[in-house]
A and B are shown apart, each in its own frame.
Chain A
């Protein structure tokens, strides 16, 4: 029997795993997809909310502010891309001033530091492309941007380093309390048992919750958000994360730089029945296109390199739901936005609950440090030249658009948990993330994956499951 089984390897599950690896415990993470960071965690706004938005007194407000506060130190400890660029909530009409003031006051009450209302003149110097209609904005210097993949992989790798096991392609199908305490978890790959379960199953957390506590059912709605991602050439269009204050002109979309120098625009908020429905729609993309211009002018949407959609795990109360709902069953559910921002605090809170429940002792060997994949672009000429001399794989560019070398891809494949698919490589190294969207590098990445994993190239998938890239060989049908 394991001590703890965490169901779901998104950012919340990985944050729980990492925080729980501080204790002496046998921890297993189960994930239905082939890798960590495959659901909500991979398709979102990639921002760290300052914490002024969530209703004062809510768990969401508390964990958002705490998560945002923890993020800078965590980024250093775990070596992932994070930039405290600050955020602006733009007010587009004098009529909306009271709402802006209310947002400011809510933020102050939540304990967000440095909040200030900036008037148009100052706003224009901060953000030259701000809409002509902007009258003022709430300035939150602690708002930031983060690589959501980088954060999730960092948490997972550090958890693995401290003894956490990951099992992928494993879907939970049933859950039963054991007579002597603890739980049996049935999966499509056999059963396993643990003294404690952490339910971090994202949009499916309600299914698990309802298995554990049928008397108090939960319903999670998948809320789709469509986005446009623009090329590096558009990355300087705004310097901060720019939101639009909901008001006279409706609820807008955000416009933000990303930590990798792109520009991200979105999301929509469309409730969908199918919890796998990550398809963008023409209507959704049109909505983003129309709304993007409300707070920021002249967005060069022609430089879009991809559009995508992600699902948020929305629950009617619009608050995180974290707690031990049955003996040895801890919910980490309804983690919608600002879940990414809150992840460090969510992990700490869940770990505290589990620690107390299982009477866990600290692991004296816990190592909080994780080094990310070496980025040769960050080195100066001499250091980079020396690196290539030491390891020539860093001299071979595989992804032209993002200048990713073979060395980085090999590193990504051999990490724990490591990349096994094109998307796994892409999220870890950015190979295929650029303007040509993997047209050039995908055959080469397939070759490297096949060689390093010791499998046939024909077995390589885009993202696990039935997502094989090639379906046969020439003339095999004749």
Chain B
């Protein structure tokens, strides 16, 4: 197997954008390893519109959005291998992978970009009591069956979790002829985008039941019914049970960055995001191993995945072509007052370009707040936000010059606005 400078694990939106950016920044030998039979990742099954408003200033479907990046990859002559599974990433960046035509092979790239995306939290991890029949699907699995294979996974549907895929699937199942009885959400707020609640639930008169969860699943072979109940402090309230006769339960209860390879390589992971802890260059604790997209932290919009992955591609190119940065000072990034996490978790001002992008999510719904960033005790950024919600990712761009002042940590916080 010919050796390459950069291996990108995953050919979804993150991997594609990273590859394009790395090539444009001078890396010649790039190889994308994709486990599915097509490039594009999960976008291929996201046939609804709403993608690309930021990146292309127009509204595209998932496959259309992916196609723009796939076209660039092909025009730039970037190599990729499909149906190829990476089995192992070692701490020395040796990549072990296999497919049917090349068999088992190893690569020793100078840099690796982790772009494996995320997976859905399954029923088992939710500890929903009841039977374990057919008819329980994660929303993404149902989406694949419907949108890519034309199969209807059920006719009367209850959806647990109001993450974006769940909302999108409420509409899709309705359009394909199923009856969606309700969407139950454990939290007192939705985990999805406001626009999806309006366009996917309200427009189809599908009730959203906040502070509700599934407490029982009936049916020994196929689902025959679901019981939901209201919750208080995470516990179902006895007497509030409601029964639905249905044949299907869809789950949209959170996405988990897929970091088994990262963990095996010794990449340090954040307990909050489940993704790697990275610095301003999106580089993990292993020099030359970068991460971007949903493997790093779950994004709300693919546009931000592409942007972040583009940055990872640039930084990987700099690493390959110029070698490691002389690090200088490292500022840890802390979060307070409702800010759940930040990416990155450390900033080296001397390694940053003109701006440093901070991305984060909040832990609850907040109104009339101010996002504030401090270097030591000095406020270096603030912006009013009328509403902040866990379903929407926040982005802050800091001028790198501002980070060169006094102070040994950066703090991101919410203040009364």
- Interface residues in chain A, defined as those with a beta carbon under 8 Å from any beta carbon in chain B: 228-229, 276, 278-282, 284-285, 304-308, 381, 384-385, 388-389, 392-393, 395-397, 400-401, 403, 435-440, 442-443, 457-458, 461-478
Contacts and interface: CB of A to CB of B under 8 A. Distances in A.
A54 B138 CA distance: 43
B119 A381 contact: no
A229 B104 CA distance: 31
Contacts of A461: 134
Contacts of A472: 151-152, 155, 177
25 contacts: A279-B216, A279-B218, A282-B129, A282-B236, A304-B124, A305-B122, A305-B124, A305-B125, A306-B122, A306-B123, A306-B125, A388-B100, A396-B85, A396-B99, A436-B120, A439-B119, A443-B141, A461-B134, A463-B221, A466-B221, A467-B133, A473-B152, A474-B176, A475-B176, A477-B178
A383 to B, nearest CB: 10
B261 to A, nearest CB: 10
A465 B98 contact: no
B145 A443 contact: yes
Nearest to A306: B124
A280 B103 contact: no
Contacts of A477: 155, 177-178
Among all A-B residue pairs, the 6 with the closest Cβ atoms: A306-B124, A477-B177, A437-B122, A462-B134, A392-B100, A397-B85
B283 interface: no
Contacts of B120: 436, 439
Contact of A307 (B85, B103, B127, B221): B127
Contacts of A305: 122, 124-125
A407 B152 CA distance: 28
A248 to B, nearest CB: 29
B151 A474 contact: yes
A385 B106 CA distance: 11
B19 to A, nearest CB: 22
A412 B131 CA distance: 26
Contacts of B123: 306, 437
A395 B98 contact: yes
B100 A440 contact: no
Given A385-B103, A400-B85, A285 B129 contact: yes
A145 to B, nearest CB: 20
B129 A436 contact: no
Nearest to A302: B125
Contacts of B122: 305-306, 435-439
Interface string B214-237: 011110111000000000000010
B387 interface: no
Contacts of A389: 103
Given A395-B99, A440-B119, A467-B221, A474 B129 contact: no
Contacts of B131: 278-279
B13 interface: no
A466 B131 CA distance: 14
A285 B126 CA distance: 12
A306 B131 CA distance: 12
Interface in B68-101: 83, 85, 87, 96, 98-101
B140 interface: yes
Contacts of B125: 304-306, 435, 437
B134 A467 contact: yes
A458 B124 contact: no
A471 B152 contact: yes
Contacts of B141: 439-440, 442-443
Contacts of B151: 457-458, 470, 472-474
B190 to A, nearest CB: 22
B101 A466 contact: no
Given A278-B131, A282-B129, A389-B103, A470 B152 contact: yes
A471 B154 contact: yes
B153 A469 contact: yes
A384 B152 CA distance: 38
Nearest to B236: A282
A63 B119 CA distance: 45
Contact of A282 (B104, B105, B215, B220): B215
B124 A229 contact: yes
Interface string B130-145: 1111100110110011
Given A463-B221, A474-B176, A388 B98 contact: yes
A403 B98 CA distance: 11
B247 interface: yes
B104 A467 contact: no
Contacts of A400: 35, 85
B104 A463 contact: no
B146 interface: yes
B187 to A, nearest CB: 18
A308 B132 contact: yes
A474 B138 contact: no
A186 to B, nearest CB: 24
A279 B100 contact: no
B354 interface: no
Interface string B189-231: 0000000000000000000000000011110111000000000
Interface in B146-175: 146, 149-155
Contacts of B83: 396
A396 B155 CA distance: 33
